[in-house]
């Protein structure tokens, strides 16, 4: 018999450890499956709320961009009629790049040279306006009485008003001025802004006056003709607009003309049913009361299928409300489709609107951010419970392994490894499940725009985060009971059962 | 059997392998203190076959766990090969449990998800034996307990006696000097119990392994070198086999 000196026990190779762990999972397959399902469901929940928030945000952004594009003609029609106000200028200009055409146009109208300075001033003004607008009514009333929008800045011009304003502001704890720059007192920078406000306002008003003059000149030049007509039929109108001082690119003008055509076409088509005879014929064809024949009925019911449209065109030509060959069925159906697309875009924009999205976690809105946090906690508790159970019910096995000479670190490793394995598999399944449910739900709620607005990159990052969250939560939940089990003397562990 | 026993020369090799000094263990649960051991001093020699007997609740199992390094005493010391167990760090304790001592339990405690062979080779893996060597030795050990043909069976597919034989093979994996058996035959019928006892006796005789058995089984008395009676947490009596046999024959005589 060899006498053994007592030494430190060597560590087991990783391959053996993994083999042992996988064997253990295989044997307790059903139990492991249940743990995995718990992780899956928890991660699916987490992933689902994350995906829905992301998609909502993306759809919101996408549809507002699309709508702005679709409404380019309406934007220009409004612009060529109305010069706007100081507030509308601040809001619009603050969102523009200072190199953009629109900003240059403003600079030209206002006859200001220093682009950088005025751009900064406008952004500051927009920030302060946002600050006052997001305040509740009571606080605003205390601070600036009944002044609203940019009139607040006018109201605060006299020094004594400023003094009382800052005094009141220091009393209201929940409200503090936005920070403009690091290291500069917000109060000082607001005072500085108020000092420069009159000149900014003067510049904007100058631009508005110049614009009004330009619009007046333009309409006199064309003898008060309707804008829509001019856009459609006057070849030289683009040059006239540019001469008046407005900046519009050729591509934009092209789009404006196209959309104006659509608008004009819609008007003609809608006008075509204003006569009693047309209404009666439509009513008898579609079995409706003549009073129910409205423009809405026309778009939603009649202009949906080619056959109906063809019938309508022949009837309208008979009744001489449409001139012969003016429209083919295809163009009308196309018009109806683009109208519908626009409606669905506005619908998804409305649905995807998130409250307070400007200043909350990931731009997800306060409610979604909170939901995400709660789901993370629920997820963590669920996984912790599952892992705690798996470890405690294996105390006897742990004790046996320790009797056979297993190191504490080995016990820790097999449990952490098992948790990581279950966390990975559960996390991946959970992500897939959450993704399917989230995208599906959003598809139902917001329409097909989801597929075009979705950004795969963001979703992939979110998926990775969710999988990692699954692994980390599972491992964290396994560490405590495993540590406890591995530290116990073998017999104490057996006694616990 | 008696021949093999005679081969063992205890008198020439009275090396102390386990020694306890004033061993005490108390279990405290809130205000109630249970004294499981109240100061035990015992010396066990190498290559001895010892039976520990005593009624249940006498502290027998506690004593057994103490000398196996499975539980820590409240006070007093356990020396295994003149090494104080309390002084050992966790990895050193693992080393001790892995190579110096083999454990056999009443409820076998095999790892349920491993085959017989895997169960036997696990302690060798912990000891750092290469896989191929471990398998070879594992088969030899299974052969020793007569289960060579069933190496691929899992515990659930085996009878109690077979499981206990696997447990014995496992306990022998790293050539331990001491085998600690906690009522190895308690869950088995008479005949299978006898098989287990035969294997233990053979191991003791052929390999010179010190065997310490906590038991209720009176057949043990016939094979052990010494008997230790434990009562109320203390050593009641220590007797050699010869003395016991005389008593036993007396009892049998009276009964007859």
Taking the Cβ of residue B238 and every Cβ of chain A, the question of whether any pair is shorter than 8 Å is answered with no
Q: How far is A345 from chain B (nearest CA, A)?
A: 59
Interchain proximity A405–B90, CB inside 8 Å: no
Do B103 and A26 make contact, defined as CB atoms within 8 angstroms?
no
Q: What is the pLDDT of residue A376?
A: 79
Has residue A268 got a pLDDT over 60? yes
In this complex, is the C-beta atom of A404 within 8 Å of any C-beta atom belonging to chain B? yes
pLDDT (mean) for A485-495: 78
Chain A contact present for B25, CB below 8 A: no
Chain A residues within 8 A of B71 when measuring between CB atoms: 489-492
Domains of chain A, residue spans: 14-66+357-495, 83-245, 256-351
pLDDT in the model for residue B255: 43
Give the SS3 label for residue B104. Answer: strand
Element (H, E) at B234: strand B234-240
Report how far residue B188's alpha carbon sits from residue B192's, in angstroms, rounded to the nearest whole number: 6
pLDDT at B185: 85
Give the pair of three-digit tokens for residue A140: 């605003």
Q: Tell me whether residues A8 and B99 touch, CB distance under 8 A.
A: no
Alpha-carbon torsion angle B208, B212, B213, B218, nearest 10:
70
B60 contacts chain A (CB < 8 A): no
Residue A4's pLDDT band (cuts 50, 70, 90) = low
Chain A contact probe: residue of B63, B70, B107 with most A CBs at under 10 A? B70
Give pLDDT, residue A77.
74
Q: Is B228 helix (H, G, I), strand (E, B) or coil?
A: strand
DSSP string computed for B162-191: HHHHHHHHHHTTT--SEEEEESTTTTS-HH
User: In chain A, which residue's Cα lies nearest the Cα of B98?
Assistant: A405
ipTM of the complex: 0.85
Q: Say what the alpha-carbon torsion angle A46, A48, A50, A52 is, to the nearest 10 degrees.
A: -160
For residue A392, what pLDDT is reported? 80
pLDDT at B248 (0 to 100): 60
Choose among A484, A400, A3: nearest CA to B97: A400
CB A390 within 8 A of CB A36: no
Mean pLDDT of A42-59: 84
Residue A96's pLDDT is 74
Rounded to a whole number, what is the distance in Å from the CA of B131 to chain A's nearest CA? 10
**pLDDT, tens only, A29-38:** 888 888 888 8
Partner A contacted by B71 (CB < 8 A) = yes
**Rounded-to-integer distance, Cα A407 and Cα A110, Å:** 80
The owner of tokens 């110049």 is A210
Question: CA distances (Å), A460 to each of A28, A51, A189, A446, B130, in order?
Answer: 33, 10, 42, 21, 44
Range of weakest confidence among A262-271, A456-465, B159-168: A262-271
| Binned average pLDDT, 10 residues per bin, chain B of 256 residues | 45 76 86 86 89 85 85 88 85 88 88 89 88 91 89 90 91 90 85 87 89 84 86 86 68 46
Task: Tell me whether A124 touches chain B (CB under 8 Å).
Answer: no
Compute the nearest-CA separation of B120 from chain A (Å): 10
CA–CA–CA angle B175, B181, B182 (5° rounding): 150
The pLDDT mean for chain A works out to 78
> Which pLDDT score, from 0 to 100, does residue A497 have?
54
Chain A and chain B share a number of CB contacts under 8 A equal to: 93
Cβ-based contacts of B114 with chain A (< 8 Å): 23
A21 to chain B, minimum CA–CA distance in Å? 10
Whether A276 and chain B come into contact, CB under 8 Å, resolves to no
Strand pairing category for B75-80 and B16-29: antiparallel
| Of residues A76, A13, A62, the one with CA closest to residue A263 | A76
Q: Is B21 on the interface with A (CB under 8 A)?
A: no
Which among B89, B113, B208 has the least Cβ separation from residue A24? B113
Chain B partners within 8 Å of A6 (Cβ): 83, 88, 92, 95-96, 100
Name the token pair of B38.
């109240």
* H/E segment holding residue B75: strand B75-80
Q: Which residue has the tokens 């503090």?
A: A176
At residue A67, the 3 state secondary structure works out as helix
Q: CA–CA distance from A124 to each of A153, A189, A196, A291 (Å)?
A: 12, 10, 11, 54
Task: Name which of B65, B118, B128 is nearest A491 (Cβ-Cβ).
Answer: B65
Residues in chain B with CB shorter than 8 Å from the CB of A408 are 90, 94
End-to-end Cα spacing for chain B: 26
Looking at chain A, the whole-number percentage of residues with pLDDT higher than 90 is 4
Token code pair at residue B218? 């009176």
**Tokens 């007046």 label which residue?**
A216
A279: tokens are 């209404």
What's the pLDDT score for residue B139? 93
Neighbour-count burial for A5-20, b at 16+ CB within 10 Å, e otherwise = ebeebeebeeeebeeb
Chain A interface, best mutation among B61, B111, B117, B141, by max A CB count within 10 A: B111
d(CA A219, CA A449): 40
Answer for the pair B114, A23: CB distance below 8 angstroms, yes or no.
Answer: yes
**Residue among B62, B126, B134 with most chain A CBs within 10 A, to mutate:** B126
């Amino acid at each position: 018999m060899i006498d053994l000196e007592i030494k430190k026990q060597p560590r087991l190779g990783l391959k053996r450890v993994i083999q042992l762990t996988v064997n253990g999972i295989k044997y307790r397959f059903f139990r492991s499956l249940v743990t995995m399902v718990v992780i899956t469901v928890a991660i699916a929940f987490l992933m689902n709320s994350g995906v829905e928030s992301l998609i909502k945000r993306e759809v919101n952004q996408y549809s507002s961009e699309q709508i702005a594009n679709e409404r380019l003609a309406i934007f220009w029609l409004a612009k060529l009629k109305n010069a706007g106000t100081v507030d509308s200028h601040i809001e619009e200009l603050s969102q523009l790049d200072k190199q953009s055409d629109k900003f240059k146009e403003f600079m030209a109208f206002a006859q200001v040279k220093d682009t950088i300075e005025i751009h900064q001033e406008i952004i500051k003004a927009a920030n302060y306006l946002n600050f006052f607008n997001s305040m509740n009514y009571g606080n605003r009333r205390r601070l600036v009485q009944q002044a609203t929008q940019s009139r607040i800045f006018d109201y605060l011009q006299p020094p004594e008003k400023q003094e009382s304003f800052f005094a009141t502001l220091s009393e209201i704890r929940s409200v503090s001025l936005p920070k403009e720059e690091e290291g500069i007192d917000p109060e000082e920078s607001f005072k500085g802004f108020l000092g420069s406000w009159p000149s900014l306002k003067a510049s904007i008003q100058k631009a508005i006056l110049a614009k009004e003059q330009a619009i007046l000149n333009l309409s006199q030049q064309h003898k008060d003709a309707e804008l829509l007509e001019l856009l459609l039929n006057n070849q030289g109108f683009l040059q006239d607009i540019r001469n008046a001082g407005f900046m519009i690119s050729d591509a934009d003008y092209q789009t404006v003309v196209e959309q104006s055509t659509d608008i004009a076409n819609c008007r003609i088509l809608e006008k075509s049913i204003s006569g009693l005879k047309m209404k009666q014929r439509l009513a008898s064809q579609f079995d409706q009361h003549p009073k129910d024949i409205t423009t809405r009925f026309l778009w939603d019911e009649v202009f949906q299928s080619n056959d109906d449209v063809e019938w309508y065109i022949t009837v309208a030509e008979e009744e001489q409300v449409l001139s012969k060959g003016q429209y083919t069925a295809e163009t009308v159906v196309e018009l109806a489709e683009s109208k519908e697309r626009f409606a669905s875009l506005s619908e998804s924009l409305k649905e995807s609107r998130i409250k307070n999205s400007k200043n909350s976690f990931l731009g997800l809105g306060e409610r979604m951010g909170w939901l995400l946090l709660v789901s993370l906690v629920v997820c963590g508790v669920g996984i912790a419970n599952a892992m705690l159970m798996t470890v405690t019910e294996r105390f006897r096995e742990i004790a046996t392994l320790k009797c056979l000479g297993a190191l504490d670190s080995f016990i820790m490793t097999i449990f952490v490894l098992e948790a990581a394995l279950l966390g990975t598999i559960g996390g991946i399944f959970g992500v897939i499940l959450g993704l399917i449910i989230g995208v599906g739900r959003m598809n139902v709620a917001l329409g097909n725009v989801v597929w075009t607005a979705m950004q795969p990159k963001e979703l992939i990052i979110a998926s990775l985060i969710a999988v990692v969250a699954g692994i980390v939560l599972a491992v964290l939940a396994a560490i405590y009971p495993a540590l406890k089990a591995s530290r116990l003397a073998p017999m104490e562990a057996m006694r616990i059962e | 059997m008696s021949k093999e026993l005679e081969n063992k020369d205890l008198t020439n090799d009275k090396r102390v392998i386990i020694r306890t000094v004033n061993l005490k263990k108390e279990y405290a649960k809130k205000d109630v203190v249970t004294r499981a051991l109240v100061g035990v001093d015992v010396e066990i020699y190498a290559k001895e076959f010892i039976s520990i007997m005593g009624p249940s609740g006498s502290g027998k199992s506690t004593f057994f766990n103490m000398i196996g390094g499975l539980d820590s005493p409240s006070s007093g010391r356990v020396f295994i090969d003149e090494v104080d167990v309390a002084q050992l760090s966790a990895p050193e304790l693992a080393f001790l449990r892995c190579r110096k001592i083999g454990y056999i339990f009443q409820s076998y405690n095999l790892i349920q998800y491993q085959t017989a062979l895997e169960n036997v080779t696990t302690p060798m893996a912990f000891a750092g034996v290469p896989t191929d060597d471990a398998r070879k030795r594992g088969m030899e050990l299974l052969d020793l307990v007569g289960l060579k043909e069933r190496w691929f069976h899992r515990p659930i597919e085996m009878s109690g006696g077979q499981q206990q034989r696997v447990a014995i093979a496992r306990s022998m994996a790293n050539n331990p000097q001491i085998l600690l058996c906690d009522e190895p035959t308690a869950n088995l019928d008479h005949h299978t119990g006898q098989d287990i006892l035969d294997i233990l006796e053979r191991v003791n005789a052929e390999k010179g392994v010190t065997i310490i058995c906590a038991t209720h089984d009176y057949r043990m008395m016939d094979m052990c070198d010494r008997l230790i009676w434990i009562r109320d947490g203390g050593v009641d009596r220590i007797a050699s086999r010869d003395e016991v046999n005389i008593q036993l024959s007396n009892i049998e005589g009276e009964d007859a």
